[in-house]
């Protein structure tokens, strides 16, 4: 995570919008310290990766569990969502 760190208000808004669930796999996330190692810890996720020109703007940020956030790799967010929800035929790589 770069500068301009997590904004608490944004987190609160997103948490309400997403009903406290991961934007990918829909599990209920736990609110933990940012360095928590729990797989279900709540993290801020950039939908369009910063490496791919994603902006650090609210409409590019969602809450994802740590497990999804770290496991996404270079897959685009939409493919990853269908993958995590079991709607995908196979793990395209």
Interface residues toward Zn ion, by CB under 5 A:
22, 24-25, 65, 68
Pull the structure tokens for residue 87. Answer: 């709607």
Least distance (Å) from Zn ion to the CB of residue 41? 10
d(CA 35, CA 42): 10
Residues constituting the chain? 93
Q: Looking at beta carbons only, is 30 or 53 nearer to Zn ion?
A: 30
- 4 vs 72, beta carbon nearer Zn ion: 72
Indicate the residue among 3 and 48 with the shorter CB distance to Zn ion: 48
Determine how β-strand 42-46 pairs with β-strand 61-65.
Answer: antiparallel
CB of 88 to Zn ion, least distance (A): 14
Q: From the CB of 3, what's the least distance to Zn ion, in Å? A: 25
């Amino acid at each position: 995570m770069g500068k301009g760190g997590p904004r608490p208000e944004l987190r609160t808004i997103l948490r309400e919008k997403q009903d406290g669930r991961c934007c990918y796999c829909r599990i209920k996330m736990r609110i933990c310290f940012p360095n928590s190692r729990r797989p279900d810890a709540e993290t801020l996720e950039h939908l369009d990766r910063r490496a791919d020109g994603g902006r650090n703007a609210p409409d590019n940020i969602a809450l994802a569990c740590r497990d999804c956030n770290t496991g996404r790799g270079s897959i685009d967010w939409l493919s990853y969502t269908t993958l995590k929800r079991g709607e995908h035929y196979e793990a395209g790589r």
